[in-house]
Structures are given as structure tokens and as C-alpha cells.
Amino acid sequence: MKLIIGLGNPGKEFANNRHNLGFICLDRWALGRERNFAKGDVFDYIVLKRAVLIKPKTWMNRSGEAIKQALKQWIISEYMVIYDDIELPVAKIRIRQGGGDGGHNGIKSLLAVIPPEELKRIRIGIGRNNEIDPQNYVLSDILPEEWELLNPALDQAGKFIDLYIKYDFNAVLNEYSIWKKSCSGAESSGIVSPKEEK
């Protein structure tokens, strides 16, 4: 089984935070495909024939605990995570496999459980505001003008998830290469090599 993880913090007060883009992306995916998340103690989940999608109910910095529980329930062969990235412009998508945590506490927690080279990633940019402390910024709600940019990016990320479920990560990378070339501003998107991120 493939394990697809959306990162975020549980609770209605965090639902529209920038830091919850992983949850938002999986919720958008589920809504568009008439799927519903089952409620669990450690994570909410959708079980498919080839994949399990989960939203950890731990705090972001303890997301790895949810992975440990998932490994007790299913035989997992590979992992992909969807999450926000403050270093990318709003709505820009980057896809890669391997690498470090990039200062993201949710990823740091996952990497305590999943070997770094095995973790496939879809990162969605939330931008940065240098006038606001980064911790406060990521825990602030997405603005209306940001939603206008993020909505199509989230839809596209959902298509990448479909490809990953049906085929494999190479299919995602191939489609991403085609998609980024067709996008305006494609030069600021891209598949990041391991050398670009510590």
C-alpha cells in the first residue's frame, strides 16, 4: 500500500491556516472524488485498493506518531507527503523525493520514522511575509487573494495524487514536467534536485 500524508494541525481554529495546506489538499481531493475520511483516534483516513490517505490528528510536530500507528494497521511500501512551504511563492508546486526537513517541523517528525530517501513530496508554496514572524505567519489564515492562486494549484495537486495512486511516482514527475512548462511563471517552479535543499 502507498501511504499519502497531508500535514496540518487538528481543530477548526486551524482549518484555514497556511500551515494546514496538506489537510486542505486532501480534503479537496476527497470532495472532488466523493470520498469521505473515516474518523480515527490518531488520524482520519481513506482506504483505497492501492493507497491509504491520512490526516494526522497529532500536532504538526508529532506527525510521525501517526505514521507509526499507520504502520501497525497496514503494510506500507512507499510514502508521499503533501505540505506547505514558506520558501516557495504562493501556489507554486515543487515535487521531489528525498532531502531534509527544510525547517518544517512536520517533516522533521516524519523523517524520524520514514527514511529520508523514501519520502516523496508535493510542496505547495505559501510565500513569506518578512514583516510577520514566520511561526505566526504559517498559523494565520489564508487570505482571499491567496485562495485565488491556491485553488488551481490544489486542483492540480489532486491530479498528481490520482496519478500516484493509479501508477507511480515517475508518472507524477512526468506529468509535472509537462505541467510546469505549460504554466505561466514556470521558471519559478521545478523539480528540486537534492543539492538544492539540505
Per-residue pLDDT of the chain (198 residues; tens, 9 = 90+): 999 999 999 999 999 999 999 999 999 999 999 999 999 999 999 999 999 999 999 999 999 999 999 999 999 999 999 999 999 999 999 999 999 999 999 999 999 999 999 999 999 999 999 999 999 999 999 999 999 999 999 999 999 999 999 999 999 999 999 998 887 554 444 444 333 343
Spatial CA neighbour of 160 closest among 149, 150, 173, 147: 173
pLDDT value of residue 194: 36
Q: Which residues are annotated as a binding site for tRNA?
A: 14, 61, 105
pLDDT value of residue 6: 99
Q: What is the pLDDT of residues 100-109, one digit of tens each?
A: 999 999 999 9
Q: What's the start-to-end Cα distance of the chain, in Å? A: 29
From 19, 94, 96, 104, the catalytic residue:
19
In single-letter form, the type of residue at position 194 comes to: P
Residue 148 sits at the vertex; the CA angle it makes with 105 and 197, to the nearest 5 degrees, is 30
Q: How far apart are CA 102 and CA 105, in angstroms?
A: 9
Q: How far apart are CA 54 and CA 176, in angstroms?
A: 23
Spatial CA neighbour of 128 closest among 84, 167, 184, 170: 84
Q: What is the pLDDT of residues 108-149, one digit of tens each?
A: 999 999 999 999 999 999 999 999 999 999 999 999 999 999
Q: How far apart are CA 31 and CA 35, in angstroms?
A: 6
What is the rounded average pLDDT for all residues in the chain? 93
Three-state DSSP state, 93? strand
Q: How far apart are CA 16 and CA 101, in angstroms?
A: 23
Domains of the chain, with CATH numbers? 2-196 (3.40.50.1470)
Active site (annotated) includes residue 19: yes
Q: How far apart are CA 148 and CA 174, in angstroms?
A: 26
